[in-house]
Amino acid sequence: MNHLNIYNIIYHCTLVTSAILITYPLWPLRFQKKYIISLFWFVANFGILIFFSSLLVLSSNFYQLQLMSSIINLLIIATLFRWHTTLLMTIIGVFVSIEFYKYFMDEKLLVNIDSFQFKVIYFITLFSGLLIVFLRPRQEQERLVNLKNTHLGDRVLALESRN
């Protein structure tokens, strides 16, 4: 199996999976169950954003643009799921993609990260990812406080209207 075959498999699987997710409202009612779409959505995110992304990084020999795309995908996963799930999915996905690559490609993995440009881009992406990770819980807390304030305000208005 060569790199072109891997790219074709990845592109076709991603296209079909995306089309299935986009056409969810058109599915027959018997397939529109919450557990079906939630399981499929979870597996699709894992496959596309972690496994395929890691596999593309490996097959491109850690090309900087592909690595940046993979880091962005990991940041997207971090914002979609809880950090426990994100960490577990990332570890499993990267490990499986490395094993898949070694098994099907029969190549050794060589990494060269001596470029200054790579280090700067990696630092900027890592810094922005950390900002997202630390700011997201604060935003969630603000949202919960606002919901609580709205709820309590509604209760006060209801009590005032009774009197």
Domain range for residue 85?
1-111
* Average pLDDT value for residue range 155-160: 85
| Last-in-domain residue among 111, 126, 149 | 111
Q: Are residues 3 and 68 in the same domain?
A: yes
Which residues have CB under 8 Å from 122's CB, separation 6+?
Answer: 67, 68, 71
Q: Are residues 151 and 79 in the same domain?
A: no
pLDDT at 113 over 60: no
Q: Are residues 59 and 86 in the same domain?
A: yes
pLDDT at 82 over 80: no
Give the DSSP H or E segment for 96: helix 83-105
Please check whether residue 75 is in contact with residue 131, taking contact to mean a CB–CB distance below 8 angstroms: no
Q: What is the pLDDT of residues 4-45, one digit of tens each?
A: 888 898 999 999 999 999 998 898 888 788 888 889 999 999
3-state SS class at 127: helix
pLDDT at 117 over 70: no
